Amino acid sequence: MSLLELIERADERALAASAVACLDRCLPLLAPDGPEPLRPLWASCADGREWAIRLSAIRTEMEQTAVTEGPAALVRAMLAAAPSDFAPAPLREWADACSLVALEIHGRFDAPDGDAPRDTADLLKAARGGEAAAVGPLVAGELERQVRILEILAETTGTAGGGAGVRKALDLSTEGRRVLRAVMSRRARGRV
């Protein structure tokens, strides 16, 4: 099943966790060495409890981060676009947008000069639709993580272990965050 099909079929829990995971993986752009501010929001993904309160607190906390330009602005916009309502329609729209932004950001780090190629939008559309697309290794890895997270969450929907699905999504996201952080670090060393 393609990423777009998985997003279309996902329930609130999967949509929220998928979007938070995309945001989580891109956090090194805002807080390179900081703590994990999204942990409270991850806890709300399972049932939506305190979602709006935790989202508001995280937005306030993230306003203090120093980085505000370039790809970091996309991450800020992703957080700002998060719906306060834990409902399928707004969460689906947010999850879809977060998926695309996370792929675009990874595409910038695939490019040697940090600029995404001009035909990126078409490539990402094809890749998210399940078609073969000539994307770079970071985008391919990010796409695979997004698909896997939604598959894990779909497998655990309505089960007693539903929280375990969110936990597995968090683990995959943490791995992806480490990958992006390492790429950012290598690129920074290359500029010195």
Residue 67 vs residue 31, higher pLDDT: 31
Nearest to 79 by CA among 32, 22, 33: 22
What pTM does this model have? 0.90
Residue 135 sits in which domain range? 3-191
The number of folded domains in the chain is 1
Which residues in 28-62 are b (16+ Cβ under 10 Å) and which e?
bbbbeeeeebbebbbbbbbeeeebeebbeebeeeb
**pLDDT range class, residue 191, cuts 50, 70, 90:** low
Average the pLDDT over 28-51 and give the result: 84
Residue pLDDT, tens place only, 104-137: 999 888 877 655 555 677 778 888 888 877 788 9
Work out the pLDDT band at 163, boundaries 50, 70, 90: confident
